[in-house]
Chain A
């Protein structure tokens, strides 16, 4: 069955520190992969997406993610976190040809000043 796992429910980092948010998926076909961010009281904003090609994708706000097929992972990274990055981050798998997404349960990021 298709699934998306975000192992870390909460992560706390200091401002300026590096960040990695984990995402593992289970999907039989070639996945379309997405990271969204939900700031407090806001909807979801697309950070980046992977469909094919270069496995390292760049997104907005200085985020990047790397697709590793052998590990079924699509981890999100940022070299230096800003206080405004405090939010909840969702990883999602798009089921090809259906427009349906499977979302992970989210990781809530707290940034310490």
Chain B
């Protein structure tokens, strides 16, 4: 498995501002993922972040709104830009199983709870 931490754990922000969320994992992993969980909803994949390449965004998510950095194999950031109340969600990062293998298991961080006023 993997131990994943996220900062901040929660924040309250004003509309029009931006927030950068950090994700740190205790093992080197190739693939990291960012998800959004809107209130009362399931998880939706925002993008996949591989070290050394541009993030790959899912339909409905764009880089200008959710820029992602992946400077090394243990760290990634997601920025929520020009926030509106509709961005109020839990943002979770996840990583592939660091032990490798074809099983596509993901391990999740504790999440960042964002409230936009």
**In whole angstroms, what is the CA distance A36 to B96 when docked?**
15
Which A residues from 29 to 79 make CB contacts under 8 A with B? Answer: 32, 34, 36, 41-46, 49, 51
Looking at chain B, what size class is its interface with the partner chain? 20 to 34
Which B residues from 62 to 117 make CB contacts under 8 A with A? Answer: 92, 94, 96, 103-111, 113
**In whole angstroms, what is the CA distance A94 to B108 when docked?**
15
**In whole angstroms, what is the CA distance A45 to B108 when docked?**
7
Indicate whether A103 reaches chain B with its CB closer than 8 angstroms.
yes
Residues A96 and B104 in contact, CB atoms below 8 Å apart? yes
Nearest 7 CB-CB pairings of A with B: A44-B108, A43-B110, A103-B42, A94-B104, A43-B108, A43-B111, A103-B43
Residues A43 and B104 in contact, CB atoms below 8 Å apart? no
Main secondary structure on chain B at its contact with chain A? strand
Indicate whether A101 reaches chain B with its CB closer than 8 angstroms.
yes
A35–chain B nearest beta-carbon distance, Å: 12
- A32 contacts which chain B residues (CB < 8 A)? 103-104
Residues B103 and A106 in contact, CB atoms below 8 Å apart? no
Indicate whether B55 reaches chain A with its CB closer than 8 angstroms.
no
Looking at chain A, what size class is its interface with the partner chain? 20 to 34
User: Could you list which residues of chain B lie within 8 angstroms of chain A, going by C-beta atoms?
Assistant: 1, 4, 6, 31, 33, 41-43, 45, 48, 92, 94, 96, 103-111, 113
In the complex, which residue of chain A has the Cβ closest to the Cβ of B45? A100
A-B contacts, 21 of them at CB < 8 A, read A32-B103, A32-B104, A34-B105, A41-B113, A42-B110, A42-B111, A43-B4, A43-B6, A43-B111, A44-B92, A44-B108, A45-B108, A90-B42, A90-B43, A94-B104, A94-B105, A95-B104, A98-B104, A99-B33, A100-B45, A104-B42
